[in-house]
């Protein structure tokens, strides 16, 4: 199904014929106005053709010469560009791959060591012992011993102390 | 029945020979094709952009692009239609970019008539303006200003139709749209130009 614009354009350009032409002309509400517009359209076409068609290309030979030069550049460049591209391809892949791999391994190793260091149970116990050492004065209670029993699955920690002569002055059970 | 739906015209044999030689890397054959079409291509682009320098550069770019992609030409249409498609893509892209850079909402690039880019590759043509040609020059300026108000797609179809006498299917192929779209664009382009140039074509 053609739109009105398509039919109108075809009619202006005398591209309608037969039944399609008669049908379209019969559908026009004002055929005289349409004919006038068709004449205007022809005048517009003639004006455009007369005024715009003859715009010469100055320096035609120079145009072709310049184009030849550019084509020569384009056809000679790929060979040179190819080798440099291949070289850069090699340079950018193998060393970069090695570098990236090494860097990744290094980062991974640092990260793993840091995490393992953080999660070391001995460190946790040491931390507790340090606290206890500050609580138990070795001069006052030289035979005091402190033991820790920890069951991680049950989240239970038992602190067993023996040989305390007295509780530290700053001890406060919470 | 619309006559434009006829079968596509077969490309010229000698032109096909030139294309085949181009596809084999023969730059002289391409040079021959350039000689055949450079004036028409330049004229079409000039009417689109209204600047000799820009038209020169865009025509150069279009032919260079054609050379690079000549291997993809299958001969299903004429070489002229094929290169026009490249020309239209290059020119419409350029007009769109220029419009974006300019930040304008309308396509009015008539100002280019007075602006010459000193860095342009083109050698400016210096022609004295004869006094008796002044009136015609004014008419031409009016037309160019009117065309500048059309969108690049509308410019393309009206110029190909009115200046180059191309058929709807050829324009559709060159612009890359349907025949219906071409006819619709022609409708609106003509309406706009009639409104803008009525006094010109009625009085000239």
A-chain residue closest to B29, CA distance:
A68
| Three-state DSSP class for residue B70 | helix
- Report pLDDT for B12: 52
pLDDT tens profile B67-88: 999 999 988 888 989 999 999 9
Q: For A120, phi and psi rounded to 5 degrees?
A: -65, 120
pLDDT tens profile B164-178: 999 999 999 999 999
Within 8 A of B187 by CB-CB distance, chain A residues are: 5-6, 8-9
Nearest to residue B43, comparing CAs of B160, B152, B124?
A: B160
Q: Does an H or E element contain A147, and which? A: strand A145-151
Q: Do B90 and B62 contact (CB within 8 A), yes or no?
A: yes
> Rounded distance, CA A79 to CA A18, Å?
60
B157 token code pair:
């179809």
User: Judged by CB atoms within 8 Å, which residues 71-100 of A form the interface with B?
Assistant: 71-72, 74-75
Q: Tell me the ipTM for this assembly.
A: 0.74
Q: Does an H or E element contain A160, and which? A: strand A156-162
> Rounded distance, CA A164 to CA B162, Å?
111
> Rounded distance, CA A6 to CA A18, Å?
16
pLDDT tens profile A107-133: 999 988 888 876 655 555 555 555 555
> Rounded distance, CA B150 to CA A43, Å?
19
| Residue at token pair 């920690």 | A157
> Rounded distance, CA B57 to CA B120, Å?
8
The answer to whether the Cβ–Cβ distance between A8 and B187 falls below 8 Å is yes
Nearest to residue B168, comparing CAs of A6, A123, A138?
A: A6
State the average pLDDT over residues A27-34: 90
Q: Residue A158 above 90 pLDDT?
A: no
Q: How far is CA A125 from CA A147, A173, B81, B135, in A?
A: 10, 20, 85, 102
Q: How many beta carbons lie within 10 A of that of residue A77, not counting itself?
A: 10
> Rounded distance, CA A111 to CA A49, Å?
76
> Rounded distance, CA B183 to CA B168, Å?
7
Within 8 A of B193 by CB-CB distance, chain A residues are: 44, 48
B51, B183, B194, B195, best to mutate vs chain A, most A CBs in 10 Å: B183
- Report pLDDT for B147: 94
pLDDT tens profile B25-76: 899 999 999 999 999 999 999 999 999 999 999 999 999 999 999 999 988 8
Q: Do A48 and B160 contact (CB within 8 A), yes or no?
A: no
Q: How many helices, marked H, and strands, marked E, lie in chain B?
A: 8, 0
> Rounded distance, CA B184 to CA B173, Å?
15
A17, A21, A52, best to mutate vs chain B, most B CBs in 10 Å: A52
In this complex, is the C-beta atom of A31 within 8 Å of any C-beta atom belonging to chain B?
Answer: no
> Rounded distance, CA A40 to CA B190, Å?
10
- Rounded to a whole number of angstroms, the distance from the CA of A103 to the nearest CA of chain B is 42
Angle between helices B27-49 and A60-119 (to 10 degrees): 90
């Amino acid at each position: 199904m053609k739109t009105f614009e398509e039919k109108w354009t075809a009619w202006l350009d005398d591209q309608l014929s037969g039944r399609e032409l008669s049908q379209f002309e019969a559908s026009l509400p004002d055929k005289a106005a349409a004919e006038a517009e068709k004449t205007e359209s022809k005048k517009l076409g003639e004006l455009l053709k007369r005024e715009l068609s003859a715009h010469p290309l100055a320096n035609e030979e120079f145009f072709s010469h310049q184009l030849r030069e550019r084509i020569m550049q384009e056809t000679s460049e790929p060979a040179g560009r190819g080798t440099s591209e291949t070289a850069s391809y090699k340079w950018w892949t193998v060393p970069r791959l090695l570098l990236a791999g090494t860097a990744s391994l290094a980062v991974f190793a640092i990260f793993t060591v840091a995490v393992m260091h953080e999660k070391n149970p001995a460190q946790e116990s040491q931390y507790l012992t340090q606290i206890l050492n500050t609580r138990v004065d070795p001069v006052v209670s030289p035979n005091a011993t402190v033991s820790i029993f920890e069951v991680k699955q049950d989240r239970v920690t038992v602190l067993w102390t023996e040989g305390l002569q007295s509780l530290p002055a700053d001890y406060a059970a919470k | 029945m619309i006559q434009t739906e006829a079968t596509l015209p077969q490309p010229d044999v000698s032109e096909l020979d030139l294309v085949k030689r181009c596809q084999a890397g023969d730059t002289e054959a391409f040079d021959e094709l350039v000689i055949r079409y450079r004036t028409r291509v330049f004229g079409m682009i000039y009417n689109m952009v209204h600047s000799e320098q820009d038209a020169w550069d865009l025509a150069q770019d279009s032919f260079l692009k054609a050379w690079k992609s000549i291997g993809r030409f299958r001969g299903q249409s004429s070489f002229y239609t094929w290169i026009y498609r490249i020309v239209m893509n290059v020119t419409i892209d350029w007009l769109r970019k220029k419009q974006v850079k300019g930040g304008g909402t309308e396509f009015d690039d008539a100002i280019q008539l007075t602006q010459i880019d000193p860095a342009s590759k083109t050698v400016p043509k210096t022609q004295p303006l004869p006094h008796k040609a002044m009136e015609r020059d004014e008419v031409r300026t009016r037309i160019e200003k009117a065309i500048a108000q059309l969108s690049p797609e509308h410019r393309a179809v009206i110029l190909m139709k009115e200046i180059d006498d191309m058929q709807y299917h050829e324009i559709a192929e060159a612009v890359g749209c349907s025949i219906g779209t071409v006819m619709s664009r022609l409708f609106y382009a003509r309406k706009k130009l009639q409104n803008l140039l009525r006094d010109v074509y009625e009085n000239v």
